[in-house]
Amino acid sequence: MNIESPLHHAFVLHSRNYRDTSVILDLLTREAGRYSVVVRGARSAKSRVRGRLQPFTPVLLGALGRSELKTLTSIDFPERSYGLEGDQLLLGLYVNELLYRLLGRFEPLEALFEEYCHLLDELESSDEGIEQVRIFELRLLEELGYGINFEFDAGSGSRVENESYYHYVVHEGFFRCLDQDEAFFQGEELLSIANRELAAVDRNRLRNLTRQSLGALLGDKPLKSRTLFRGVTR
């Protein structure tokens, strides 16, 4: 795709060194989705961007090029920045890796971009952030075309009932079951998830649900951030 962009609103997902003094930025942009740019001379002593191109950094940039890897032509830094630390930093890195692994290049997803902005706001202001990450995972699945229907039985098509129990089949949905098991969701929980009200939902079941669904898309290659993230997801 040939881009000679008007300015794109973007967040840095990841940066890595390139050649002697340059870096490659993996970006999530509002206008063009995910793509990567070379920032030439970014690591040189006189560069005005040296040390500023870290994950979660919001930027306004221009880029051009005919290949998938674009060349940065301009960059500005808005006053707003995100100072994630501790567990919130680990959660953010996990989400960034999900986006890098699962989003195609140059597929504008403006609603997901706004959801990402909201997630960073929540992570920065929250002591935990787990619920916000789970909501983002569900939103990401929807954008990828694998959204989960929490309101209807995938077998019968009938509405989920509060007192009934349901088991989940990846990319198919929830099926009512006669037996009760700790791995099954009660209908009341499913309807709460549908409304994005997670306070009363079992954390372990919900974590396993999103992990199964995302894992089917990620394949066999494990997420590097998950080893760091694991201790936060209790």
Tell me how many degrees the CA angle 158-209-176 measures, rounded to the nearest 5.
Answer: 25
pLDDT tens digits in sequence order for the chain, 234 residues long: 555 557 999 999 999 999 999 999 999 999 999 999 999 999 999 999 998 999 999 999 999 998 999 999 999 998 778 889 999 999 999 999 999 999 999 999 999 999 999 999 999 998 879 999 999 999 999 999 999 999 999 999 999 999 999 999 999 999 999 888 877 999 999 999 999 999 999 999 999 999 999 999 999 888 988 776 565 554
pTM higher than the cut 0.75:
yes
Question: Token digits for 230?
Answer: 């694991």
- The tokens for 115 are 């959801």
- Residue 234: its pLDDT value, please? 47
What domains are there in the chain, each with its CATH number? 3-76 (2.40.50.140), 86-232 (1.20.1440.120)
Two tokens at 137?
A: 């995972």
Chain Cα centroid distance, residue 229: 14
At which residue do the structure tokens 């306070």 appear? 199
Tell me how far apart the terminal alpha carbons of the chain are, to the nearest angstrom: 42
pLDDT for 6: 79
Tokens of 231: 């201790």
Q: Quote the pLDDT of residue 107.
A: 94
Q: What is the pLDDT of residue 226?
A: 76
pLDDT at 225: 87
Q: Are 155 and 176 in contact (CB under 8 A)?
A: yes
pLDDT at 68: 93
pLDDT of residue 229: 59
Distance CA 229, CA 194 (A): 25
HEC readout, 142-202:
HHCCCCCCCCECCCCCCECCCCCEEEEECCCEEEEECCCCCCCEEHHHHHHHHCCCCCCCC
